[in-house]
Structure 1
Amino acid sequence: MNNEFYKNLEKSVSNERLSHYFTIFQTEDKKIIIRKYLLNIELSKSFYLPLQKLETTLRNNIHTTLSNQLKNDNWFEISDFLTNDSYKKISEAKNNINKELTPGRIISELNFGFWCALFSKPYDQKVWNKYTKLIFPNIPRKYATRKVLMKKTNLIRKFRNKIFHFDTIINIKNLFEIHKEILEMIYWLNKDVYKLTIAFDEFEYIYNNEEKIIKEKLDELSKDNQ
């Protein structure tokens, strides 16, 4: 990689962000750093589909189940059903919608944090003791508890936030385990969505073929700049 090409790439990234990679990988080799930086982007991209399918499928399963069981598409407006914080998020979601306030639009506007909050203790009796198998039709019995599901969703939520805040994930040691957790939860929610996700999933290929994916492209681009 020629120096001019690297300098031009460096201008598009903050020195602070790149220095983070110097610290992680204990090297000042600029070729390695830029490859690791780009690999982090590729790995983050590979998680977009699994995270998106998990979030939308979880949201829709909960909404469909509660709408049917409570016989109310606006179940999120039932008095004393949600916590005060959740009602606040419903209100914020409504304020962000510039169209007719339909249940579908309100549900779509709610972020992943709202749905993860439904796994907290106040919803033990209202939701999980009654409807776990309806929301997660393929979940093994030993995992079908609110506490287990809360632990898994919070792990995924924190990881998701790192992805969507363009944070570093390449240094996370249990990336494979997190990837597995996401796919597993998708399977518990919907087998067909799981099949679709794994058909397009590229995480392992990207992780295991760093040199092929990153180095060859950079070397070719570097030649073009000579």
Structure 2
Amino acid sequence: MIEKPQFTRADVEIIRREEMYKRFFRVEKVFLRHKLFDGGWGQEIGRELFVRGEAVAVVLYDPVRDLIGMVEQFRVGALDEPSGPWCYEVVAGMLEPGESPEEVARRELMEEANVEPYALEYICNYLSSPGGCNEKLHLYCGLCDLQHAGGVYGLPEEGEDIRVHVFSAEDVFAVLLDGAFNNAAALICLQWLQLNRSRLQNQAACE
């Protein structure tokens, strides 16, 4: 049995926060102290925090035809990647105030892929890089008909230029760990899909 961590949020004292940068994203320096495993409290430390917030990512899957939908777009963080800065990804977007993760999933699927799923399966959530960023991603599998999917979408006013690709599941899984999908959300979603593929196909066959 895996027990919960020993300490909770109550075992951290925030001393002060300093805003270092604020535009589309925000960076804070957080001064704090926390309890120690050997007992007592640690000394004051300062940590830079990239304030990113919550996001949603969705892998598109057509269980009837065994097809996977991925999006391709330019990513500045991948400028120096050997394969170049255009990445194969799952559909993703940030939560806006008052939105639920499922609402974001459906909105982003229409904006980025022009696809409306007939069902969403929740996969998991995770912190992308908790050593210095508070970003939390909620992952879904969007079950849909990909027979006629494809094209270029996104919001031009936000500089989006997003191409939708439809691949056979066999082709995707054959290169899953070869670097074609070089981001965590895509890899986690696709590995989950690999594990649940037969179940989703059987469910679709019974409907």
Structure holding more strand per residue: 2
TM-score by length of 1: 0.24
Q: Which has the higher Rg, Structure 1 or Structure 2?
A: 1
TM-score by length of 2: 0.25
